[in-house]
């Protein structure tokens, strides 16, 4: 048990420190726990599908996509991506769910 905690500690520290820091008060996001609940919202709101999002993430971000979460912040939808870089570090990335990598 101790060795497992010792192995997980660096991952947890990286995950927590990789979260973006905002100067303004953060708006609480409501996230979908189940993709069967998110699917009708994705269709209704014309959000980018997860397959397309995965392809775009591969083109724009280094590393592997580990997890995708759909969330709603006020009147907009976002995807929270968890990326693992080539060195194994985890990074949280937030993108717009309608136009994920537009600038």
Predicted model pTM: 0.71
How many angstroms separate the Cα of 103 from the Cα of each of 70, 95, 96, 100? Answer: 20, 11, 11, 9
pLDDT in tens, 16-50: 444 444 444 556 779 999 999 999 999 999 999 99
> Average pLDDT of the chain?
82
- Where do the structural domains in the chain lie, given as residue ranges? 27-103
């Amino acid at each position: 048990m101790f060795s497992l905690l010792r192995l997980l500690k660096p991952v947890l520290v990286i995950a927590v420190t990789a979260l973006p820091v905002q100067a303004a008060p953060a708006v609480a996001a409501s996230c979908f726990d189940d993709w069967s609940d998110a699917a009708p919202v994705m269709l209704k709101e014309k959000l980018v599908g997860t397959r397309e999002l995965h392809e775009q993430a591969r083109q724009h971000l280094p590393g592997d996509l580990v997890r995708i979460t759909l969330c709603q912040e006020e009147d907009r939808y976002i995807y929270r991506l968890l990326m693992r870089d080539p060195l194994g570090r985890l990074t949280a990335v937030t993108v717009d769910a309608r136009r994920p990598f537009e600038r």
